[in-house]
Amino acid sequence: MKKSFKLEDLDCGHCAAKMEEGIRKLDGVLDVSVNFLSQKLVIEAQDDQFDEVMEKVVRLCRKIEPDCRILM
């Protein structure tokens, strides 16, 4: 399953790169892209694990950029 999410309050490109790198390492993630300029997260994960993966993604993003929110 592939989904796109709007990001709110992502403040820098470096943080976007760190988020993308961290998400890529999560189990169940097939592909990910975090675009700072468009404030967009595109993630592809296995269908049966998608909700679990997204919970991990939200925690990871808060750890890297506490003010950033993933709008679902």
pLDDT tens digit sequence for 53-64: 999 999 999 999
CATH number at residue 16: 3.30.70.100
Number of structural domains found in the chain: 1
Q: What are phi and psi of 52, to 5 degrees?
A: -65, -45
Average pLDDT along the chain = 96
- Predicted TM-score (pTM) of the model is 0.92
Q: Domain containing 6: what range?
A: 2-71
Single out the residue of 9, 10, 63, 54 nearest to residue 36, CA to CA: 10
pLDDT at 72 over 90: no
